[in-house]
Amino acid sequence: MSKKGYYLIIALSSLCLACTAGYSYGQEHPEDSLSVADSSLATGPSDSANWSAAYKTGMLPLKYFKNQPYVSVQQLVKGNVAGVYVQEPSGEPGTEQYMFVRGLQAPLLSKKDLYAQQPTVFVNGIPMIPDNNLVFDIQVTDFTRIGPATNFLSTLDSRNIESIKVLKDPADLAKLGPIAANGAIWITTKDTKKGSNESFASTYFGFASNERVTPVNAAYETAWRKPFYDKYASSENLRVIPTYLRDVADGNYYGPANWTDLYYRPVPVYSASAGMLLGKHPRANVALSVNHTSDGSGQDDAQLKRSGFSARTSLKPFNWMTFTALFNGTHLDRRRNRSFRDRLSEVRYTPSLSSPLAPNKQAYQQYLDIFSAASKEPLDDNQVNALQAMAEINATIARSLRFISTFNIDYNENSRDAFWPRILLEKNNFTSNYFGYNQRILISNALRYTYQLNEDSRFIIEAGQSYQSDVQKYDYGYGYNTPNDNIKVRPIDIDPNKINEQPFQYFLVASDKQRIGLSALYGSLNFSYKKTLDVTAIVRRDGGSFIQPDKRWITSPTLSASWNLKEALLQEQATISNFIVKASYGVIGMPYSTDFYSQGPIYVSTGISWPRDPVIPSYMGSGVASRPYSRGWVSYGVEWQKAHKASLGMNIGVLNNRINLGLEVYNNDNKDLLLLMPAPRETGYSGVYKNGMAVNNRGIDATIEAALLTNPRSLNWVSAVNVNFNKNKLTALPDGRQSVVIGNRLLKVGQPIDAYWLLQNQGIYNNQSEIPVKDGSVQTYNGIALSPGDPKWKDNGDNIIDEQDKMLTGHSLPVVSGGFINDFSYKQFSLSINLFFAAGQKLLNQEISNRLNFANNDNSNDLSTVKEITYWQKNFNPSDYPLYNPWSNVDPFQSGQDLFLQNASFLKLRAVTLSYRFGNGNGHRKVFENLEVYLSGTNLFTVSPFKNGDPELVNYQGYYTGYAQRLPRTITLGARVSFKH
């Protein structure tokens, strides 16, 4: 199809009465299943029936979390809905966090794969666009992304949120289309309530701190290394002992280890928000709110500040038409860490790392003073501006016919200005500038016709259309050796006659932009009979510009049915108050987050440089393009990836809904997934992209809620637990292959996609006689003969230790996860306790591997081994590990062995809140409708078999590096007030 033909279809479809429109993208209408806002969940008193009814369908019980100092959507969802696992890889405020709905959709081979598997967050029906992943094409490492690297889901003020619902059911996701293939988080903000005017305000103040650590100095470091030196060190090994460990008289390293007071310091956290809801006028209402929040980790002076504004209005110029408009605006300012690793990963120039920061307070203070002096002008300025806007017309054309037209926009822009002076980089300074924006526009139209067959039966027929346009762009420049630390830019005009007198200067610019369009046609038929039976059939026709022209369109059917057994068969049964069975099956197209595959074989501008610096887009100053040898060959025939989702569930309530059970069994098959398969070496390509990979996730979501004690005059107790059990496996590979090795990962059909591929450790060879000999040859590791002091790795029988001896073992994500809530109330007092747990996952302890591998890492310039100031703390027991020869050529302490695979299961007391509510909430004669004060604590303790830190602080592939900031313990005192007028 030609480009003109494609745009003609889009134009015509925009005029048709079809697709996902207000209903598909879930504007709040009385008949919509997505109209789930229940004000009692957010602001009202405890109601066990309403609370549990919402909870079992994926609604977060915000009543129990509204007083926590959470600043991101991920933190609100975490542990509070079955089937959703949230990972916070760092406690540094504002950093990126991740959500997985019902398991992994595909293997996580890179950060791009991680971004592509996140659920879409909808705010009042506006689908938020995430930050671009284009910058990973020019990054050397993926420790952190280029730019401000700020969590875009920190832009929402939790105090202005009315409700949050996690959508997992295939029918719900089908209504939202391909962008919800990974699940959806449905958020509604505070809105006017008909017939009332209300004002509200909330604030809290407290401190974020961390548990005390045991600092160590060079004497401790030397002591635990001594057994290795005594047993294995040669004279040459002794000669190259690191400089910082040689001189015991050096007070910086062998003196007091008192650096912790400068790194771990309590910092204030606070928030203030206020708003008003004006809803008395029958034809016009307005909701306004403002907020400001400051969050910190209590580590390395990291901080996030957020300021925002929200406005929403509804107008009814005619009885048959309503116009709704919304605007949210937010500004984020993030103060990042001062670590070596994150800074040098962007600099791309690694100075000598042989002498780490000293654990002495005075020496560390000198390093911090460099930052303080340089930050008189912005040294590391990270800014994010975001807005969401929506306009909707909802018109009743006839008694049973409704037309809905919606315009949505989500926009965010990100900037970072960084400068590192000469003193930090061995007489070379560095400057960088980043600006990027992400824009999503959604236009949708829908018609809905309701036909009442008789008193018991009703049909609802819908047809609609939508068009979504995503634009993502960034500009990035960096350079070295500016004229001096006060002049941070390169001069534009250089006298060619004095070129030899100019200091060497190097400046590079990279820029990328992509535009992705997604068009859809939609039709649905719903039939309901009394209150017993509800059946919905949905058919979508989706087209995406990220797919090659001959594969651009996909048809997706979905069927859903629910049966109310209570109304149909058990009306006389008094014990059972609710019993609903629901089944759903659907196919949803899974979009690509890049347009890279849409044109087949192409040329790129970032493929001409060496791997160490992939940003270079020019040759001798001239812009050129080349084949994407390092990124991989894109052949013709790339098609849609497809998610086949099925679920069967039931909701049972007994004793007037005092006890509720929600149980859902699901099976998700993701098929035709794209994978970079190995290519013949003679082609020069790193691989070739092919469809054909398939992944299965199956599991159970369960929730149990019980109002154990209910007495308005005495103690009330509501308890709830949610649990998810998930199992994944690879079911197919492209070309019918059964296994493939990609980097340090093995993908094997029939095995989990989050398993580690490791050598199996069975001890140590203490002497030569213990080392196996076959056919006169000593056992080898990758061609190197093993010696005493080397690991005893499990062999497959060929007397050669290599990749053939590695085994798939463990999971990087939990097999079981969930949360446990208990809410106690007595008169105006209430106490809420929130536990979060995960089990069945393991982590690979790269931090301990790096420490024990000191012989190779002491003089290494590898950023994965850099020693931060946090290196000087006691966090492991060397006696727990074998005394291998660290100077052996077989790399005995490499991380790719199960010696460092450790149980990462945990139970966390995530939050405790004690509150007191003044008055009875009826307040018609009182100044305040509701006044509540509370004391809250978060991240109070963790129970885990992992003893070297927090097992939650792993990267997306399950590696524990030790570089992440710890999740802070916060104590806050706050108040909430509202009144009608």
pLDDT at 755 over 80: yes
Alpha helices in 926-975 (DSSP H): none
pLDDT at 911 over 60: yes
Which pLDDT band holds residue 53 (cuts at 50, 70, 90)?
A: very low
Residue corresponding to tokens 């651009």:
552
pLDDT at 355 over 90: no
pLDDT tens-digit map of 594-643: 999 998 888 776 656 655 566 666 555 566 777 888 888 998 999 999 99
40, amino acid identity: S
Say if residues 968 and 210 touch (Cβ distance below 8 Å): yes
Instruction: Give the per-residue pLDDT at 609.
Output: 61
pLDDT at 697 over 70: yes
237 C-beta neighbours (distance < 10 Å), count: 14
Distance from C-alpha of 907 to C-alpha of 147, rounded to nearest angstrom? 34
pLDDT tens-digit map of 574-592: 889 999 999 999 999 999 9
pLDDT at 289 over 50: yes
Residues 6+ apart with CB under 8 A from 747: 107, 675, 693, 730, 733, 739, 740, 741, 753
pLDDT at 16 over 70: no
Say if residues 245 and 233 touch (Cβ distance below 8 Å): no
Residue corresponding to tokens 């440089």:
609
pLDDT tens-digit map of 384-412: 999 999 999 999 988 899 999 999 999 99
Residues 6+ apart with CB under 8 A from 219: 248, 254
Angle at CA of residue 321, ends 317 and 325, nearest 5°: 75
From residue 206, alpha-carbon distances to 102, 398, 534, 561 in Å are 35, 55, 49, 49
- DSSP assigned state of 117: T
956, amino acid identity: Y
Distance from C-alpha of 814 to C-alpha of 819, rounded to nearest angstrom? 13
pLDDT at 900 over 50: yes
Instruction: Give the per-residue pLDDT at 114.
Output: 94
Length of the chain equals: 981
* Helix, strand, coil share of the chain (percent; to 5): 15, 45, 40
Share of the chain above pLDDT 90, in %: 69
Please state the rounded mean pLDDT for residues 57-61: 76
What does pLDDT average to over the chain?
87
pLDDT at 682 over 60: yes
Q: What are phi and psi of 111, to 5 degrees?
A: -65, -30
CA proximity to 15, closest of 403, 392, 327, 313: 403
Helix (H, G, I), strand (E, B) or coil at 119: coil
CA dihedral 874, 880, 884, 886 (to 10 degrees): -10
Which region among 349-353, 622-626, 835-839 has the lowest average model confidence (pLDDT)?
622-626
Query: Which letter, b or e, does each residue of 526-559 get, where b requires 16 or more Cβ atoms within 10 Å of its Cβ?
Result: bbbbeebbbebebebbbbbbbbbeeebbbebebb
Distance from C-alpha of 215 to C-alpha of 258, rounded to nearest angstrom? 7
Distance from C-alpha of 711 to C-alpha of 825, rounded to nearest angstrom? 10
Burial (CB < 10 A; 0-12, 13-18, 19+), residue 186, is: buried
pLDDT at 45 over 80: no
Distance from C-alpha of 180 to C-alpha of 175, rounded to nearest angstrom? 9
Token pair belonging to 643: 């998610």
pLDDT at 493 over 80: no
Query: Which letter, b or e, does each residue of 846-855 get, where b requires 16 or more Cβ atoms within 10 Å of its Cβ?
Result: bbbbbbbbbb
Distance from C-alpha of 689 to C-alpha of 675, rounded to nearest angstrom? 5
Which pLDDT band holds residue 6 (cuts at 50, 70, 90)?
A: very low
323, amino acid identity: F
Which region among 1-15, 219-233, 450-464 has the lowest average model confidence (pLDDT)?
1-15
